Amino acid sequence: NWMNRQPGSRFQYPYNHRRVGRVNLFADLNRGDGYLPAARKVLPPMPHPHLPLLMELSSCPGPPGGEQQLARLLQSQMEDFCDIRYDGLGSLLAEKPGLLERPRLLLCAHMDEIGFMVQSITDKGFLRLQPLGSWNTLALAASRLVIHTGKGDVPGVIPAIPPHFKKQAESQRDTDEILADLGVFSRQEVQEVGVMLGDLVTPAPRFDIFGLKVVANKAWDDRAGCAAMVLAMQHLDKKVHSATVIAAGTVQEEVGGRGATTAVEVAKPDLAIVLEGAPADDLPGLAKDEPQGALGRGCQIRLYDPTTIVNRKLWQWARDLAAGHNIPHQLAVRQSGSTDARPIHVAHGGIPTLVIATPVRYIHSPVGLLHLDDFEATVALLKIIVETLDLKTFEYLTSYKKP
């Protein structure tokens, strides 16, 4: 038991993220291991069938450049019925042939989460961290971390300056000054526990259920998208479908969409759907008008962000499918942000690309909140799309000669 380890023994990562295979045991939530103690069994009256998968994916570490463990986990979920390959950057591509070679539909969810890299070690034994992705720095103080070293995982915490020592004007942490405290007191001690420059760092996972339908953990951006992608592909395993569907778990989205840039060259799709965990805007005082990404109101169909104007026929088709099947959905015109749609939609002479997201509160911080109904709406819409897309629909969506 990791809680009862002997002083001086090696710390073991308290969540068994290395376990692979299809996740289908709800009992995982009640084992009492890792960050879900047996004494805290706050479970809904009717267990949700996808909780184990959501817990497994969101708890698995996968910072930019270190997505391999998550890739193996996703592969284990799809390799029984898909052809698996990887591109040169490490993005996973799982292809499920349809009745026809075309259209080729790419489902894309990025595997990486925002994290850090060890940039330097101070004489006093603190780590100076290089952010990988854009952090909400106000949420970092006193956050627990896991440093992933060649010898194992090492726990740490981001220092929090007590108010007694803070100047009145200090309100926001500078990302250039993010440190990690390992509970050691010299550079030599840091080296003895196995930490080196370049080691990757992620928030410590803690999966919780709030109320009856909200789940909390790190990395919903974009493990929500990864889970939806897996469930859609598993749904196709039992269906006859026209389109050939490629599921891509991309790397390094949080540092510039690099994995999608290479994965699209390998997949060569005709259409693409990017799956995301998008920032919820339903906090008090945040939205000027009606929220476009509120928890509990369904999946989000994005029409615009500063890097992508979504193909109009494509989003209208998705909207009509959602409405016709009574799937709760929200339309969003985002004034900030970017997704893997940015490199995909301008590749190969132009690829019509749709963005479907599950809203997440407190995105790009150590913990986010996801509503299970919104996630189910995302999965439901995605299943209908992959089932119904055929050559006739594809030709309509990609024709610019006809209205």
Let me know whether 85 and 136 are in one domain: no
Does 355 map to a domain? yes
| pLDDT digits 0-9 by tens, 261-271 | 999 999 999 99
Does 11 map to a domain? no
* Domain CATH number, residue 284: 3.40.630.10
Print the domain residue range for 365.
Answer: 23-113+206-397
Let me know whether 231 and 94 are in one domain: yes
| pLDDT digits 0-9 by tens, 229-273 | 999 999 999 899 999 999 999 999 999 999 999 999 999 999 999
Lookup: tokens for 390? 């055929």
| pLDDT digits 0-9 by tens, 367-390 | 999 999 999 999 999 999 999 999
Annotation marks residue 177 as catalytic: no
Per the structure, the count of domains in the chain is 2
Let me know whether 158 and 295 are in one domain: no
Q: Is the pLDDT of residue 365 over 70?
A: yes
Q: Which of 190-194, 204-208, 298-302, 335-339 shows the lowest per-residue confidence on average (mean pLDDT)? A: 335-339
Let me know whether 125 and 257 are in one domain: no
173 confidence band (pLDDT: 50, 70, 90): low
Cα angle 158, 160, 163 (rounded to 5 degrees) comes to 175
| Residue of 253, 254, 276, 376 with catalytic role | 253
pLDDT mean across residues, the chain: 88
Residue with tokens 């953990």: 217
